[in-house]
Amino acid sequence: MEEIRIECPKIFDYEQCLAYFKRDENEVLFEVVDQKIYRAVKIEDIKLLLCISYDRNYLIVEILNGISVTPEKVERLVAFIEEWFDFSADLSSFYQYGRKNEILRPLINELYGLRLIRIPDFFEAISWGIIGQQINLTFAYQLKKRLVEHFGDKITFENKDYYIHPTVDVISKVSVKELMDLKFSRRKAEYLIDIAKRMHSKMLSKEMLLKMKDEKEVEKALVNIRGIGPWTAHYVMMRSLGIKNAFPIGDVGLQNALKNILNLEQKPTKEQMVKLNEGWELWSSYATFYIWRAPHLKK
Protein backbone atom coordinates (compact mmCIF):
# COMPACT_ATOMS: atom_id res chain seq x y z
CA MET A 1 0.00 0.00 0.00
CA GLU A 2 1.62 3.20 -1.20
CA GLU A 3 1.59 6.22 1.13
CA ILE A 4 2.27 9.85 0.23
CA ARG A 5 2.69 12.69 2.74
CA ILE A 6 1.73 16.22 1.71
CA GLU A 7 2.68 19.10 3.98
CA CYS A 8 -0.24 21.43 4.65
CA PRO A 9 -0.06 25.23 4.72
CA LYS A 10 0.41 26.89 8.10
CA ILE A 11 -3.23 28.02 8.12
CA PHE A 12 -5.24 24.86 7.57
CA ASP A 13 -7.96 23.08 9.53
CA TYR A 14 -8.68 19.54 8.36
CA GLU A 15 -11.83 19.32 10.50
CA GLN A 16 -13.31 22.40 8.85
CA CYS A 17 -12.66 20.89 5.42
CA LEU A 18 -14.17 17.57 6.51
CA ALA A 19 -17.30 19.37 7.67
CA TYR A 20 -17.66 20.79 4.18
CA PHE A 21 -17.14 17.37 2.57
CA LYS A 22 -19.84 15.91 4.83
CA ARG A 23 -22.40 18.55 3.90
CA ASP A 24 -24.46 16.30 1.61
CA GLU A 25 -24.82 12.53 1.86
CA ASN A 26 -25.84 12.36 -1.82
CA GLU A 27 -22.33 13.21 -3.08
CA VAL A 28 -21.18 10.47 -5.47
CA LEU A 29 -17.52 11.35 -6.13
CA PHE A 30 -16.13 11.01 -2.60
CA GLU A 31 -17.17 10.04 0.89
CA VAL A 32 -15.99 10.62 4.46
CA VAL A 33 -15.74 7.68 6.85
CA ASP A 34 -14.09 7.91 10.28
CA GLN A 35 -12.29 11.18 9.52
CA LYS A 36 -10.92 9.82 6.25
CA ILE A 37 -11.81 10.91 2.72
CA TYR A 38 -12.18 8.21 0.08
CA ARG A 39 -12.01 9.21 -3.56
CA ALA A 40 -11.29 7.54 -6.90
CA VAL A 41 -9.25 9.60 -9.35
CA LYS A 42 -7.69 9.06 -12.75
CA ILE A 43 -4.14 10.31 -13.26
CA GLU A 44 -3.57 10.12 -17.00
CA ASP A 45 -4.49 6.49 -17.76
CA ILE A 46 -4.28 5.06 -14.24
CA LYS A 47 -7.23 4.78 -11.86
CA LEU A 48 -6.34 5.22 -8.19
CA LEU A 49 -8.46 4.78 -5.08
CA LEU A 50 -7.29 7.26 -2.46
CA CYS A 51 -7.75 7.31 1.29
CA ILE A 52 -6.83 10.74 2.70
CA SER A 53 -6.29 11.37 6.39
CA TYR A 54 -4.50 13.98 8.49
CA ASP A 55 -1.60 13.76 10.92
CA ARG A 56 0.31 16.67 12.45
CA ASN A 57 0.10 19.13 9.57
CA TYR A 58 0.38 16.49 6.85
CA LEU A 59 -2.24 14.97 4.59
CA ILE A 60 -1.57 11.24 4.46
CA VAL A 61 -2.58 9.80 1.09
CA GLU A 62 -2.86 6.02 0.77
CA ILE A 63 -3.44 4.28 -2.57
CA LEU A 64 -5.77 1.45 -1.67
CA ASN A 65 -6.12 -0.46 -4.94
CA GLY A 66 -2.56 -1.72 -5.07
CA ILE A 67 -1.36 0.39 -7.99
CA SER A 68 2.32 1.37 -8.02
CA VAL A 69 2.80 4.86 -9.45
CA THR A 70 5.83 6.47 -11.02
CA PRO A 71 7.40 9.60 -9.46
CA GLU A 72 5.90 11.66 -12.30
CA LYS A 73 2.40 10.42 -11.52
CA VAL A 74 2.95 10.97 -7.80
CA GLU A 75 3.79 14.57 -8.66
CA ARG A 76 0.59 14.87 -10.69
CA LEU A 77 -1.43 13.33 -7.85
CA VAL A 78 0.06 15.69 -5.26
CA ALA A 79 -0.70 18.66 -7.54
CA PHE A 80 -4.31 17.47 -7.88
CA ILE A 81 -4.77 17.20 -4.09
CA GLU A 82 -3.07 20.53 -3.40
CA GLU A 83 -5.39 22.16 -5.94
CA TRP A 84 -8.43 20.35 -4.50
CA PHE A 85 -7.65 21.86 -1.06
CA ASP A 86 -6.50 25.17 -2.56
CA PHE A 87 -3.17 25.01 -0.74
CA SER A 88 -1.70 27.84 -2.83
CA ALA A 89 -4.06 30.47 -1.38
CA ASP A 90 -2.59 32.84 1.19
CA LEU A 91 -5.26 32.75 3.87
CA SER A 92 -3.34 35.18 6.07
CA SER A 93 -3.92 37.80 3.39
CA PHE A 94 -7.62 36.92 3.11
CA TYR A 95 -8.03 37.04 6.90
CA GLN A 96 -6.25 40.33 7.24
CA TYR A 97 -8.48 41.75 4.52
CA GLY A 98 -11.69 40.02 5.67
CA ARG A 99 -11.48 41.02 9.33
CA LYS A 100 -12.16 44.61 8.28
CA ASN A 101 -15.61 43.49 7.09
CA GLU A 102 -18.48 43.09 9.58
CA ILE A 103 -19.99 40.10 7.72
CA LEU A 104 -16.75 38.19 7.25
CA ARG A 105 -15.15 38.84 10.64
CA PRO A 106 -17.31 36.39 12.66
CA LEU A 107 -17.19 33.81 9.84
CA ILE A 108 -13.40 33.91 9.77
CA ASN A 109 -13.35 33.30 13.52
CA GLU A 110 -15.76 30.36 13.23
CA LEU A 111 -14.26 28.81 10.09
CA TYR A 112 -10.58 29.55 10.68
CA GLY A 113 -8.45 27.29 8.50
CA LEU A 114 -11.17 26.33 6.03
CA ARG A 115 -9.86 26.19 2.50
CA LEU A 116 -12.03 26.83 -0.55
CA ILE A 117 -12.59 23.28 -1.77
CA ARG A 118 -11.84 23.33 -5.48
CA ILE A 119 -12.91 21.15 -8.40
CA PRO A 120 -9.65 20.51 -10.28
CA ASP A 121 -11.40 18.73 -13.17
CA PHE A 122 -12.59 21.60 -15.39
CA PHE A 123 -15.28 19.56 -17.14
CA GLU A 124 -16.59 18.31 -13.80
CA ALA A 125 -16.89 21.92 -12.58
CA ILE A 126 -18.76 23.02 -15.72
CA SER A 127 -21.00 19.94 -15.59
CA TRP A 128 -21.92 20.65 -11.96
CA GLY A 129 -22.53 24.30 -12.78
CA ILE A 130 -24.90 23.39 -15.62
CA ILE A 131 -26.64 20.65 -13.65
CA GLY A 132 -27.32 23.07 -10.79
CA GLN A 133 -29.01 25.72 -12.91
CA GLN A 134 -32.53 26.57 -11.72
CA ILE A 135 -33.18 23.39 -9.70
CA ASN A 136 -32.91 22.56 -6.01
CA LEU A 137 -29.73 21.05 -4.62
CA THR A 138 -31.27 17.64 -3.88
CA PHE A 139 -32.36 17.11 -7.48
CA ALA A 140 -29.01 18.46 -8.72
CA TYR A 141 -27.18 15.78 -6.70
CA GLN A 142 -29.53 13.12 -8.13
CA LEU A 143 -28.73 14.18 -11.71
CA LYS A 144 -25.02 14.25 -10.97
CA LYS A 145 -25.20 10.76 -9.46
CA ARG A 146 -27.01 9.40 -12.53
CA LEU A 147 -24.52 11.02 -14.90
CA VAL A 148 -21.50 9.71 -12.99
CA GLU A 149 -22.81 6.20 -12.43
CA HIS A 150 -23.93 5.77 -16.05
CA PHE A 151 -20.96 7.28 -17.85
CA GLY A 152 -18.05 7.52 -15.39
CA ASP A 153 -15.25 5.07 -14.68
CA LYS A 154 -15.25 3.20 -11.39
CA ILE A 155 -13.01 1.24 -9.05
CA THR A 156 -14.48 -1.67 -7.10
CA PHE A 157 -12.72 -2.23 -3.80
CA GLU A 158 -13.89 -4.53 -1.01
CA ASN A 159 -17.30 -4.93 -2.71
CA LYS A 160 -17.86 -1.18 -2.96
CA ASP A 161 -17.87 0.99 -6.08
CA TYR A 162 -16.00 4.31 -6.20
CA TYR A 163 -16.80 6.51 -9.18
CA ILE A 164 -14.80 8.94 -11.33
CA HIS A 165 -16.51 11.77 -13.19
CA PRO A 166 -17.05 11.03 -16.90
CA THR A 167 -14.62 12.57 -19.35
CA VAL A 168 -15.30 14.88 -22.27
CA ASP A 169 -14.39 12.00 -24.59
CA VAL A 170 -17.30 9.98 -23.25
CA ILE A 171 -19.93 12.74 -22.95
CA SER A 172 -19.11 14.18 -26.38
CA LYS A 173 -20.38 10.87 -27.85
CA VAL A 174 -23.55 10.66 -25.72
CA SER A 175 -26.92 11.46 -27.29
CA VAL A 176 -29.37 14.04 -25.97
CA LYS A 177 -31.92 11.24 -25.51
CA GLU A 178 -29.53 9.27 -23.28
CA LEU A 179 -29.23 12.24 -20.91
CA MET A 180 -32.96 12.97 -21.07
CA ASP A 181 -33.57 9.36 -20.05
CA LEU A 182 -31.66 10.25 -16.87
CA LYS A 183 -34.14 13.14 -16.32
CA PHE A 184 -31.92 15.89 -17.71
CA SER A 185 -33.88 18.63 -19.45
CA ARG A 186 -33.33 18.79 -23.21
CA ARG A 187 -31.49 22.09 -22.88
CA LYS A 188 -29.13 20.91 -20.16
CA ALA A 189 -28.42 17.75 -22.14
CA GLU A 190 -27.61 19.82 -25.21
CA TYR A 191 -25.43 22.24 -23.22
CA LEU A 192 -23.42 19.45 -21.61
CA ILE A 193 -22.84 17.55 -24.84
CA ASP A 194 -21.97 20.71 -26.81
CA ILE A 195 -19.41 21.78 -24.19
CA ALA A 196 -17.92 18.27 -24.10
CA LYS A 197 -17.57 18.38 -27.89
CA ARG A 198 -15.99 21.83 -27.68
CA MET A 199 -13.45 20.61 -25.13
CA HIS A 200 -12.84 17.36 -27.02
CA SER A 201 -11.96 19.38 -30.15
CA LYS A 202 -9.61 21.66 -28.10
CA MET A 203 -11.78 24.73 -28.68
CA LEU A 204 -12.04 25.16 -24.90
CA SER A 205 -9.70 24.18 -22.10
CA LYS A 206 -8.78 25.13 -18.56
CA GLU A 207 -5.25 26.00 -19.69
CA MET A 208 -6.61 28.34 -22.34
CA LEU A 209 -8.63 30.30 -19.79
CA LEU A 210 -5.81 30.42 -17.24
CA LYS A 211 -3.62 32.17 -19.81
CA MET A 212 -6.05 35.07 -20.20
CA LYS A 213 -5.04 38.43 -18.79
CA ASP A 214 -7.82 38.99 -16.22
CA GLU A 215 -11.09 37.68 -14.84
CA LYS A 216 -13.20 39.89 -17.13
CA GLU A 217 -11.71 38.23 -20.20
CA VAL A 218 -12.28 34.79 -18.67
CA GLU A 219 -15.91 35.62 -17.83
CA LYS A 220 -16.53 36.91 -21.36
CA ALA A 221 -15.04 33.76 -22.91
CA LEU A 222 -17.23 31.54 -20.72
CA VAL A 223 -20.54 33.39 -21.13
CA ASN A 224 -20.08 33.32 -24.92
CA ILE A 225 -20.57 29.54 -24.69
CA ARG A 226 -24.13 28.29 -25.03
CA GLY A 227 -25.41 27.12 -21.64
CA ILE A 228 -23.03 29.22 -19.54
CA GLY A 229 -24.43 32.40 -18.03
CA PRO A 230 -22.82 34.76 -15.50
CA TRP A 231 -23.65 32.52 -12.50
CA THR A 232 -22.12 29.40 -14.04
CA ALA A 233 -19.13 31.37 -15.32
CA HIS A 234 -18.32 32.77 -11.88
CA TYR A 235 -18.93 29.41 -10.22
CA VAL A 236 -16.42 27.76 -12.55
CA MET A 237 -13.97 30.65 -12.16
CA MET A 238 -14.15 30.27 -8.40
CA ARG A 239 -14.22 26.49 -8.01
CA SER A 240 -12.02 25.28 -10.87
CA LEU A 241 -9.88 28.16 -12.14
CA GLY A 242 -8.95 29.46 -8.68
CA ILE A 243 -9.80 33.07 -9.50
CA LYS A 244 -9.96 34.87 -6.16
CA ASN A 245 -12.40 37.64 -7.09
CA ALA A 246 -15.15 35.61 -8.76
CA PHE A 247 -18.59 36.41 -7.34
CA PRO A 248 -21.66 34.34 -8.38
CA ILE A 249 -24.04 37.19 -7.67
CA GLY A 250 -27.15 35.24 -8.73
CA ASP A 251 -26.48 32.29 -6.43
CA VAL A 252 -29.62 31.57 -4.39
CA GLY A 253 -27.67 29.92 -1.56
CA LEU A 254 -25.45 32.98 -1.27
CA GLN A 255 -28.44 35.33 -1.33
CA ASN A 256 -30.31 33.34 1.33
CA ALA A 257 -27.25 33.16 3.58
CA LEU A 258 -26.79 36.93 3.35
CA LYS A 259 -30.51 37.45 3.99
CA ASN A 260 -30.14 35.50 7.25
CA ILE A 261 -26.85 37.11 8.28
CA LEU A 262 -28.20 40.61 7.71
CA ASN A 263 -31.71 39.84 9.08
CA LEU A 264 -33.35 41.07 5.89
CA GLU A 265 -37.04 40.49 5.15
CA GLN A 266 -36.20 39.55 1.55
CA LYS A 267 -33.18 38.28 -0.32
CA PRO A 268 -30.75 41.11 -1.17
CA THR A 269 -31.27 42.75 -4.54
CA LYS A 270 -28.64 42.71 -7.27
CA GLU A 271 -27.74 46.28 -6.34
CA GLN A 272 -27.30 45.30 -2.69
CA MET A 273 -25.16 42.32 -3.71
CA VAL A 274 -22.92 44.54 -5.83
CA LYS A 275 -22.55 46.95 -2.91
CA LEU A 276 -21.75 44.14 -0.46
CA ASN A 277 -19.14 42.75 -2.86
CA GLU A 278 -17.26 46.06 -2.70
CA GLY A 279 -16.38 45.11 0.89
CA TRP A 280 -14.46 41.99 -0.12
CA GLU A 281 -13.91 42.23 -3.89
CA LEU A 282 -10.23 41.20 -3.78
CA TRP A 283 -11.31 37.92 -2.13
CA SER A 284 -14.89 37.52 -3.41
CA SER A 285 -14.47 33.78 -4.01
CA TYR A 286 -13.41 33.08 -0.42
CA ALA A 287 -16.03 35.47 0.93
CA THR A 288 -18.67 33.55 -1.04
CA PHE A 289 -17.39 30.19 0.16
CA TYR A 290 -17.40 31.27 3.82
CA ILE A 291 -20.85 32.84 3.53
CA TRP A 292 -22.15 29.59 2.00
CA ARG A 293 -21.01 27.84 5.18
CA ALA A 294 -22.75 30.36 7.48
CA PRO A 295 -26.13 28.51 7.76
CA HIS A 296 -24.31 25.31 8.79
CA LEU A 297 -22.72 27.06 11.77
CA LYS A 298 -26.12 27.35 13.47
CA LYS A 299 -26.88 23.63 13.28
Q: Which residues, 6 or more positions from 43, have their beta carbon under 8 angstroms from its beta carbon?
A: 69, 73, 76, 77, 80
Report whether 116 contacts 285 (CB < 8 A): yes
Chain-centroid distance of CA 36 in Å reads 19
**How many alpha carbons fall within 13 Å on the CB side of residue 10?**
4
DSSP letter assigned to residue 212: S
**251 given a catalytic annotation:** yes
Exposed/middle/buried for residue 236 (C-beta within 10 Å: 0-12, 13-18, 19+): buried
Which residue, among 250, 184, 185, 197, has the nearest Cα to 225 in the 3D structure? 197
Collapsed DSSP state (helix, strand, coil) of residue 39: strand
Q: Which helix H or strand E contains 80, and what residues bound it?
A: helix 71-84
Instruction: From the candidates 24, 121, 181, 251, give the one annotated as an active-site residue.
Output: 251
Strand order in the sheet with 30-33: 2-7, 58-63, 46-55, 36-43, 30-33
Q: Measuring CA to CA, how many Å separate 109 from each of 70, 106, 113?
A: 41, 5, 9
Report whether 128 contacts 248 (CB < 8 A): no
How many Å apart are CA 135 and CA 217, to the nearest integer? 28
Collapsed DSSP state (helix, strand, coil) of residue 74: helix
Q: Are strands 2-7 and 36-43 parallel, antiparallel or unpaired?
A: unpaired
Q: Which residues are catalytic?
A: 251
